[in-house]
Amino acid sequence: MHLVQLLLPLYDNSGNAFSETVYTGIRRELTERFGGVTAFMSAPAQGLWISEGGTTHDEIVVVEVMTSDLDCEWWASYRARLEMLLKQKHIVFRAQSIVLL
């Protein structure tokens, strides 16, 4: 079993908030494909990184699904679609093997 986490920005590069309908669509699509989704939307996390000599920050929400098969090709394609939708150079998707207890 795998846990796949998507770290999605709340704002575009100009500081404008994305519409809630964007996240509703993402949750709906992942629920239809994987049978369920967990979205941590109410307490955004803050990401910090050094870029071009300065510190950049972003507020993100985490969306996660569990799947028995990790289709890396599908996830790469989905990440590319979300990067276009959210106008991002790169969105972090990460997966880890888990054991259900």
pTM of the model: 0.85
Chain centroid offset of residue 96 CA = 14
42, HSE (Cβ side, Cα atoms, 13 Å): 1
Domains detected in the chain: 2-97 (3.30.70.120)
Distance of alpha carbon 16 from alpha carbon 37, whole angstroms: 25
Cβ-Cβ contacts under 8 Å for 55 (sequence gap 6 or more): 48, 49
Indicate whether 101 pLDDT > 90.
Answer: yes
Tens of pLDDT, residue by residue over 40-50, are 887 666 665 67
Tens of pLDDT, residue by residue over 70-94, are 999 999 999 999 999 999 989 999 9
Contact 70, 4 (CB under 8 A): yes
Residues 37, 90, 61, 5, CA torsion sign: positive
Distance of alpha carbon 55 from alpha carbon 72, whole angstroms: 31
